[in-house]
Structure formats: structure tokens, C-alpha cells
Amino acid sequence: MNTRIAVTGVVMGLMAALGTTAQAQQAAEQAPAMTPAEIETGRKIYFERCAGCHGVLRKGATGKNLEPHWTKKAADGNVQEGGTLKLGSSRLAKIIALGTEGGMVNYDDILSEAEIDIMARYIQQAPQSPPEFSLKDMLASWKLIVPVEQRPTRQMSSINLKNVFAVTLRDTGKLALIDGDTKQIWQILDTGYAVHISRLSASGRYVYTVGRDGLVTLIDLWFEKPQTVASIKLGADARSVDTSKFKGYEDKYLIGGSYWPPQFSIMEGDTLKPLKVVSTRGITVDGEYHPEPRVASIVSSHIKPEWVVNIKETGQILLVDYSDIRNLKTTTIESAKFLHDGGWDASKRYFLVAANASHKVAAVDTRTGKLAALVDTKKIPHPGRGANFVHPQFGPVWATGHLGDAVVSLIATPSEKREHARYREYNWKVVQELPMPGGGNLFVKTHPKSRHLWADLPMNPERENAEAVYVFDLTDLSKPAVKVNVARDAGLPETKALRRAVHPEFSADGSEVWISVWGGKTNQSALVVYDDRTLQVKKVITDPQMITPTGKFNVWNTQHDIY
């Protein structure tokens, strides 16, 4: 039997089982040939590398819509050659390899030529829906490894827990806990694949991680050597967790948000026992139904027993009241698509979140439970948590970088302090744009004790930018940023793969900045520690187990939302 006909039959059978549309069926019939092994390779790569921006169903969000009818039409304009639809594989392969100026990273140093060819053909096939994941499924996945009564009643080590760093080792599915005082690796633990964030309990005792395979792990820092004491699956893909922080609820609850299925789940904070699952499928701010509204980010309010839950595709911000889990109350606030990461202003009253595909930042007043502002920014803001400082001319500001533009935007934020009253006219305005050498910024960071603002560019296609960070002097923002070549300072061997400098993170006292040198899976990587005052290297932390380090989360700063 002709291979193309056989593969098309397999795809058509899958589509029929999933109840796909006639349009999708037609697209599958015209898709380029793939073997079952190639389809499985494409599925794995898409999940690991692409779904975060383009969606499990490929409907797009931060990234473009990649449904078959669009990928082929966009690639080759439906040009007919010899009576057969000209496929988009060649052009799609170039885009995957070289990236785009809009913020998509180049994959020519991450994927092989054969893998790029597979992906160019894979995204022309009909997308498949993963299975749903219920409370019953969560309960079946739940592992209580060390019950609460068998855990220490006090800290058993002499480690300064405030200055411990939780470091994601992305491609190994592990987390390194590093003593920030001695710069020694304290413990390396198995976690979910590509941990997106680590969060701290209100007490600072527990570290929670969530990976792109939907696995949440609960790590107890009070043991002599930290141990994973519980784990649970939220679904097939997840990005966000946070704890209950309001007085009287410390360490009581954990909330986790899924990319697939689109829902959030509430668990016991010290055991991860699942308590409730809430779907986020629904209507967008434009009034359209969306089948895949993913939970992009979650933060815990400091002034109410509430979580701020940001739904990517709908542009809806949910204030979830956890004072009564059984009779859950939720306030829905309309903002803009597509919501992503964000952070608190300096007062911890306002939460600012990037609606990155709308090129806006939404600000929520958690005291009144209403939208405070929608601020227009440059293309594709991506703040991480953002950065807070007092601008010498405009007063308190919160900063965000951009994936799609070469600036860091400073947004003036309200303050109830008497000495800041003169700055009120600037509230919720972009008051300054600090020039960067290109787009591709993921994180900006400062500290109340620092006079610097650090900005990375790991998604920039140019090696000289991706391997460096740029440091602004907060006492004189008219000066150009100082370029710090982190990859060179790491002293690692040159490789074909970019050694991306990513995610500046301050020590608890604000004196040091830690930056990951994110190399390839087969290359040595490192953390480079800088003196924030002098911008000079203090220490390079490397180890054979230090593979693809990305995000780093200082216990004290993460526990108290200091950025």
C-alpha cells in the first residue's frame, strides 16, 4: 500500500474518533506524508517546545495559529502545481530554523535538520486533543510520600534557608537546590519535565514545583537534606502554582493551573491531596467561545484570602476566594488577550499582567476587585514578575521587557505614600522606554537594595545578544545599558548551540545577581554569580549535573514577592 495513503488513513481514523470538523479532515487529506514514528517524534517535540506559545490545539496565543488550513495557506498561498496543492514544508522549515523577529526563537541549534523537517510536516497534520483529567484522575496520580506527622518539627540543617536558590534543570526533569551563601549544590531532586516555576509556601518551609508534564512536587526544606514529600498530576501540561498566603491560611492550600485540560485545581498545601477542579473553558473578552483557555499564571493576594488567576485565551482575570473552598466564589474581570505572566507593584495592591498578543499590560486592583488600567505597550510584553523601583522623575514604576520589541517599558504605578503624591499624574502611563539592542527579552529584575535593573535577551536570534544581559543604572537612566557577556564569563567551551543567558535572580540581601547559562542538552552549562554593585563575577557554579539550567528562585524573594 502507498505509504502516504496508509498514513492519511491513520490520521483520518484519529480525527473521526475525536469528532473533528470537515475542514480539518480535508486538511489532513492534503497533509504531507509522515510515518507513525515521525508523527510520534513531532508530537513529542511539539509538546516540549511549541505548545506553550501556540497551544495544544494549535489555535495560537503568544505564537501564531498553526492549524493545518493556516500553515499551508500562509506558507504557499494555496498555489496549485500540477493539480496538487503545493505544501508549506520548505518555508515552514526555514521559519522553524531561523526564528522570527516577533519573538520566536531559532531552532537550528536546538533541533537537527531531520527534526526540523519533521516539525514542518507535523504542523500540517490535524491536531489531536489529549484526554481530559478529572478530580478522580488527580486522586489516582497523588502520592503522599512522607505524611505530615513523619516530617521534622524544626529545621534539621544549618543551611540559611532564606538564601537558598531553587534552580530548574529544564531538560533533565530535575531541580537543584543551591546554598546561596556557600554556592554549593545542596540537593538535586527529580521533578516534572521542564519545571516552569518554583513557589514557596507562606512559611518558607515548602518548595512547590510545576512542570510541563503537569506534575507538581512538594519539597520539604526542613530535612537535613531536602526531600520530596508529595506529588500529583494536574493534567497533561501545566505552568503555574501558588499557595494561600493570607493570615490564618498559611500553608493550608495550593492552587495549580493547567494548560491542558484548561482548568485549575485546589489541593491541600501540606499534602497535595486534591480538593476541587474548576474548568476555565468559556467566553473570551470578544464574546467568542474558546475550547482551550489555559491558566497562564497565578499569584496569591497579600490583602485578602484570594488568588489572582489569569486565563490566557479568554483574557479574563479571576479572583478566586479560598475562604470557603466548598462554596467557591469567583470574581471575573475582563482585560485583554492573551494573558501571560505578571507581578505585583511595590505596594502589593495591584497585580500587573501581560496581555502579550494584544501588546498591553492589565492592572488589577485587588482591594476593589476591579480592573485598574489597560496600558498599551510595545510588541509582546513579557515581564516574568516584572521589576519595581522608584524612578527619579516619575516615582514608583513597574518594568516589563518585550519579546517583540527592543525596549524595556516603565509603567508608573499608584502609591499611597505621602512623598509620592506628586507623581499621581503619571499613574498607569508608560513613562519611559529604555532601549535594548533587540527583541527577545524574557525577564527583568531588580531589588530594593539594588541600584541596577538587569534585563536578559535569551530569545534574541543574535548570539552576541542571547549570550549577554544588559544592566541599567537606576540613578541615571539616560545612560546606555552596560553589556555583560555572561556566556564568556562562564568560561565554558564554545559550542554551536547558543549558551543563552537567562533569568537574573537576586540573592536575599540584594548584593548578588545569579544568571543561568542555558546550553544544549549535551553541553556543559553553568550559573554565573555577579556582584550587583561592581557587575564583576564572584563565582561560576558548574557541575556535570548542571544541565540546561533556566529559572532560579531565591527562597526569601519568592516567598515575599520581592522583585
* pLDDT tens-place values along the chain, 563 residues long: 333 333 233 233 323 333 333 344 444 447 889 999 999 999 888 887 888 788 888 888 778 888 887 776 444 444 433 433 344 788 899 889 888 766 677 788 788 999 999 999 999 998 877 889 999 999 999 999 999 999 999 999 999 999 999 999 998 999 999 999 999 999 999 998 889 999 999 999 999 999 999 999 999 999 999 999 999 999 999 999 999 999 999 999 999 999 999 999 999 999 999 999 999 999 999 999 999 999 999 999 999 999 999 999 999 999 999 999 999 999 999 999 999 999 999 999 999 999 998 999 999 999 999 999 999 999 999 999 999 999 999 999 999 999 999 999 999 999 999 999 999 999 999 999 999 999 999 999 999 999 999 999 999 989 999 999 999 999 999 999 999 999 999 999 888 888 999 999 999 999 999 999 998 878 889 999 999 999 999 999 999 999 999 999 999 999 999 99
Which amino acid is present at 211?
G
CATH of domain 130-155+193-334: 2.140.10.20
CATH topology assigned to domain 3-122? Cytochrome Bc1 Complex; Chain D, domain 2 (1.10.760)
Active-site entry in 54, 196, 290, 503: 54
Annotation says 50 is catalytic: yes
CA 417 to chain centre: 33
Active-site entry in 15, 50, 267, 436: 50
Active-site entry in 104, 138, 267, 459: 104
Rounded alpha-carbon distances, angstroms, from residue 210 to 44, 219, 444: 19, 12, 22
Question: What's the pLDDT score for residue 3?
Answer: 30
503: left (phi over 0), alpha (psi -120 to 50) or beta: left
Instruction: Give DSSP secondary structure letters for 132-185.
Output: P--HHHHHHH-EE-S-GGGS-SS--S---GGGEEEEEEGGGTEEEEEETTT--E
Q: Which residues pair with 342 in a beta bridge?
A: 353
As a whole number of Å, the end-to-end CA separation of the chain is 61
Write the burial class of residue 475 (CB in 10 Å: 0-12 exposed, 13-18 middle, 19+ buried).
exposed
Q: Could you tell me the residue ranges of all domains in the chain?
A: 3-122, 130-155+193-334
Annotation says 420 is catalytic: no
- Picking from 543, 551, 538, the residue whose alpha carbon sits closest to that of residue 525 is 543
Tell me the three cell numbers of residue 324. 470557603
Question: What's the pLDDT score for residue 286?
Answer: 95
- Picking from 505, 504, 471, 467, the residue whose alpha carbon sits closest to that of residue 488 is 467
Name the phi and psi angles at 520, rounded to 5: -75, 170
Contact yes or no for 379/366 (Cβ under 8 A): no
- Picking from 431, 437, 435, 434, the residue whose alpha carbon sits closest to that of residue 413 is 431
Euclidean distance between CA atoms 161 and 508, whole angstroms:
10
Q: Is-cis flag, bond preceding 435, omega within 30?
A: no
Active-site entry in 196, 290, 359, 382: 382
Q: Which residues pair with 516 in a beta bridge?
A: 502, 527
Active-site entry in 53, 138, 267, 459: 53
CA 465 to chain centre: 21
Annotation says 119 is catalytic: no
Coil, strand or helix: which one is 25? helix
Active-site entry in 15, 138, 267, 340: 340
Annotation says 290 is catalytic: no
Coil, strand or helix: which one is 230? strand
Contact yes or no for 193/122 (Cβ under 8 A): no
Annotation says 104 is catalytic: yes
Annotation says 54 is catalytic: yes
CA 316 to chain centre: 18
Euclidean distance between CA atoms 246 and 252, whole angstroms:
10
Question: What's the pLDDT score for residue 135?
Answer: 98
